[in-house]
Amino acid sequence: MPADFVARVTTKQARVGILGLGYVGIPLALRIVETGLPVLGFDIDAGRVEELNAGRSPIKHISNASIAGMRAGGFEATTDFSRAGECDALIICVPTPLNKYREPDLSFIVATMDQIAPSLRAGQLLSLESTTWPGTTDEVLAPYVEKAGLTPGQDFFLVYSPEREDPGNPNFDTRTIPKVVGGMTPGCLTAGLALYGHFIDKVVSVSSTRAAEMVKLLENIHRAVNIGLVNELKLVTDRMGMDIFEIVDAAATKPFGFTAFYPGPGIGGHCIPIDPFYLTWKAREYGLHTRFIELAGEINAGMPDYVVSRLVSALNARGKSLSGARVLALGIAYKRDVDDMRESPSVFVMERLRDWGADVSYSDSNVPVFPKMREHHFDLGSVDLTPEVVAGFDAVVLLTDHSDFDYDMIRDNAQLLIDTRGKFRGQSAENLARA
């Protein structure tokens, strides 16, 4: 029964294990340690583990001082997954990407479960936070628990609680973002609410793990579809000679029934480009075709090509070809003022430019060196911006509107400036084009 587990959390005797020390796992560890619970962090990256144990932060918006304080407060990182038995609660925060066929890839979850399965014991709670299709907790994780001779809801507690992180947003942090929790049984839910209620201000319970899994998909499908809509409207308004940013800003003054979404060069991050396709894949199992979701995905995936086509047109108007042109990409992280490169549309634009024969460079102080990525490869470092450097490129493409760019200097010195973020809305100049 959950009473013993709840008591260990309440009296701060419970040790929490976090499996996956990335953009989700590290902020979660910071918050849990703040509340007095010790944390053992697990990661397969030995360099990441060494960095954290030395008190250094691998994430731009989290300071070294925060990591050092977490270490002093009871955090340890390890690559030894056999130590999972030392933990009363285990929280999985590993990637769930798509494979090359745009189908769910649960290999990181499965690999994690394979590593911790021998260490599962009575009295533990296991929570999955990675985004996935409805049914994953029951159909993928539960068999591991049962194979260990444990029964969810009786001597083991199995829950799903989708991660909610918005890096770079100063208005919310791990503590203040409400947390959804679904349990495999009522006893599992009781234990899950006790754990998350210890370090999250507001915890929202739902009827099952499947419901909680669907909540996460709905949140990001909602964003993907609305971004797809405004990206499509951008194509229409561009053709009609109107400014989509002006139109969205005006519509946003309506105090009810409208939420402003803005267009861009595509969609990025670990959620919006990926999560909707977890549902489209699962829906096919039920004989359903999610046309609306897939259409939004097609529109958003096509935006990098639209950006390149606008650049080609603008160069042609100046008697230049994209092939051989020197092009500077401004901002390659997926959103403003973060260092997160996952699924960044900037990278897709850079790849298309390279495919067209352009000589591509980038500037992004958040990403000093282009990182190693599973599918994208550039041997580049960030270019420091000066008037002379900007003027030396045939075109400058604003892809991510970081706050540290000197936009006036860029506008005044670029031979050709392509604005995909509406940063120069309302401005007109011979060298300025929009995409």
Each residue of 130-175: pLDDT tens digit?
999 999 999 999 999 999 999 999 999 999 999 998 877 888 899 9
Taking residues 101-123, report their average pLDDT.
96
Report the CATH fold assignment for 244-434: Rossmann fold (3.40.50)
**Helical pair 209-239 and 291-301, crossing angle rounded to 10 deg:** 50
* H-type alpha helices, 200-243: 209-239
> Which CATH architecture does the domain made up of 3-207 adopt?
3-Layer(aba) Sandwich (3.40)
Q: Dihedrals φ, ψ of 342, to 5°? A: -60, 125
* Rounded CA separation 220/144 (Å): 29
Q: How far is residue 414 from each of residues 327, 389, 390, 395, 403, measured CA to CA in Å?
A: 11, 9, 6, 7, 18
pLDDT at residue 99 above 90?
no
pLDDT at residue 1 above 90?
no
* Rounded CA separation 265/269 (Å): 13
Tokens of residue 413, six digits: 């010195």
CA angle 58, 271, 379 (to 5 degrees): 50
Which bin fits 165, alpha (ψ -120 to 50), beta or left (φ > 0)?
beta
Q: How many CB atoms lie under 10 A from the CB of residue 388?
A: 8
Note the pLDDT of residue 429.
82
Residue with the two structure tokens 């259409």: 295
CA 331 to chain centre: 17
* Rounded CA separation 382/329 (Å): 10
| pLDDT band at residue 270 using 50, 70 and 90 as cut-offs | confident
For 286-326, write each residue's pLDDT tens digit.
999 999 999 999 999 999 999 999 999 999 999 999 999 99
Active site annotation includes 271: yes
Note the pLDDT of residue 43.
98
Note the pLDDT of residue 102.
84
* Rounded CA separation 20/46 (Å): 12
Taking residues 7-19, report their average pLDDT.
96
Tell me the whole-structure pTM to 2 decimals.
Answer: 0.92
Tokens of residue 20, six digits: 């996956």
Q: How far apart are the first and last CA of the chain?
A: 58
The string over 308-346, giving b where at least 16 C-beta atoms fall within 10 Å of a residue's C-beta and e elsewhere, is: bebbbebbeeeebebeebebbbbbbbbbebbbbbbbbbb
| pLDDT band at residue 435 using 50, 70 and 90 as cut-offs | confident
| pLDDT band at residue 215 using 50, 70 and 90 as cut-offs | very high
Q: What is the largest CA-CA distance in the chain?
A: 75
Catalytic residue (choose from 87, 93, 188, 271): 271
For 322-347, write each residue's pLDDT tens digit.
999 999 999 999 999 999 999 999 99
* Rounded CA separation 124/4 (Å): 10
Average pLDDT over the chain, rounded to an integer: 95
Note the pLDDT of residue 161.
98
Domain boundaries of the chain, sorted by first residue: 3-207, 244-434
Taking residues 10-38, report their average pLDDT.
97
Identical fold between 3-207 and 244-434: yes
